[in-house]
Copies of this chain bind each other. A is one copy, B any other.
Amino acid sequence: MQKYFISEEQLANKIIDNDDVFHITSVMRSKIDDQILVSDGNKTYLVKISSLSNKMVSFEIIKEEAGNNEMPVFVTIFQGYPKGDKMEDIIKHGTELGAYEFYPVMMKRSIVKIDEKKKQSKLDRFNKIAKEAAEQSYRDRLPKVVDILNLKQIDFSSYDYKILCYEEVAKEKEDSNFKNIVKKLKKNDKVAVVIGPEGGIDKDEVSYLMNLGFIPCALGPRILRTETAPFYVLSSISYEMELK
């Protein structure tokens, strides 16, 4: 059953009046009395469509759905800003794999420059991708792409565990730091994961992060591309905590 993330206001008014109307009416060809799932990002409801037009869908709530598709821990991906459309892919697949939120991070070796004027439109586009991926993957919660920041603007003090994905330790055959952390995770822990851009993390950035308590981790013996590392991290945490 198709799920739509809507605003708190839309939920209070029991209407959908944004881009999703087109999806509901023209893509899914829904009719009156059809059931869909709606969520305000906190709670999910099974609802019945009560009226349809090309501008608005109104609905009645049937019942609250027990949401249990969320990771037991909150994993925030701090992704060194990569080239091309890799950030979109990371947000899309990272959302499916259960990431809590994303910060694209401008690092020393990030090649792309984002000026302040374009930042908001980039964030809007990233959040739209997260919304679509969250709906498609049956997330209960809508992950946010919070902000595009420089590394030193980020406050990492509230995280319980701090993982630095670092290919140089993979080359030295480090093979236990990541799993040691994942094995310790308990429900509701907050996990910060920092991943460098294509050229890797600069040594000064590594020192800075290690001083803040980050643990340099290898993700297996092979050298992963920047866009593959978040998939490894999220998949492994899901495998460890969500499968029996």
Measured CB to CB, the residues of A under 8 A from B are 68-69, 89, 92-93, 96-98, 136-139, 171, 173, 175-176, 178-179, 182, 219-225, 227-228, 231-232, 235-236, 238-240, 242-244
Are A179's CB and B222's CB within 8 A? no
Are B242's CB and A98's CB within 8 A? no
Query: Known contacts A228-B93, A239-B236: does B68 contact A139 (CB below 8 Å)?
Result: no
Are B179's CB and A239's CB within 8 A? yes
Distance (whole angstroms) from the CB of A93 to the closest CB of chain B: 5
Interchain CA distance A243-B220 in the complex, whole Å: 6
Query: Known contacts A175-B244, A228-B231, A240-B239: does B98 contact A223 (CB below 8 Å)?
Result: no
Which one of A68, A222, A231 has the highest number of Cβ atoms from chain B below 10 Å of its Cβ? A222
A96: chain B residues at CB < 8 Å are 222-225, 228
Are B240's CB and A178's CB within 8 A? no
Which one of A68, A178, A240, A244 has the highest number of Cβ atoms from chain B below 10 Å of its Cβ? A244
Interchain CA distance A239-B240 in the complex, whole Å: 9
Q: Beyond the given A97-B232, A236-B236, could you list 7 further A-B residue pairs with CB under 8 A, ordered by the A residue number?
A: A97-B222, A97-B228, A137-B222, A179-B239, A179-B243, A232-B239, A235-B239
Residue of B nearest to A225 (CB): B96
A175: chain B residues at CB < 8 Å are 242-244
Are A176's CB and B244's CB within 8 A? yes
Are B236's CB and A98's CB within 8 A? no
Interchain CA distance A236-B233 in the complex, whole Å: 9
Interchain CA distance A178-B227 in the complex, whole Å: 24
A232: chain B residues at CB < 8 Å are 97, 231, 235, 238-239
From B89, B92, B223, give the contact of A138 (CB < 8 A): B223
A238: chain B residues at CB < 8 Å are 219-220, 232, 236
Query: Known contacts A176-B244, A243-B179: does B225 contact A136 (CB below 8 Å)?
Result: yes
Are A243's CB and B178's CB within 8 A? yes
A220: chain B residues at CB < 8 Å are 97-98, 238-239, 242-243
Interchain CA distance A113-B135 in the complex, whole Å: 29
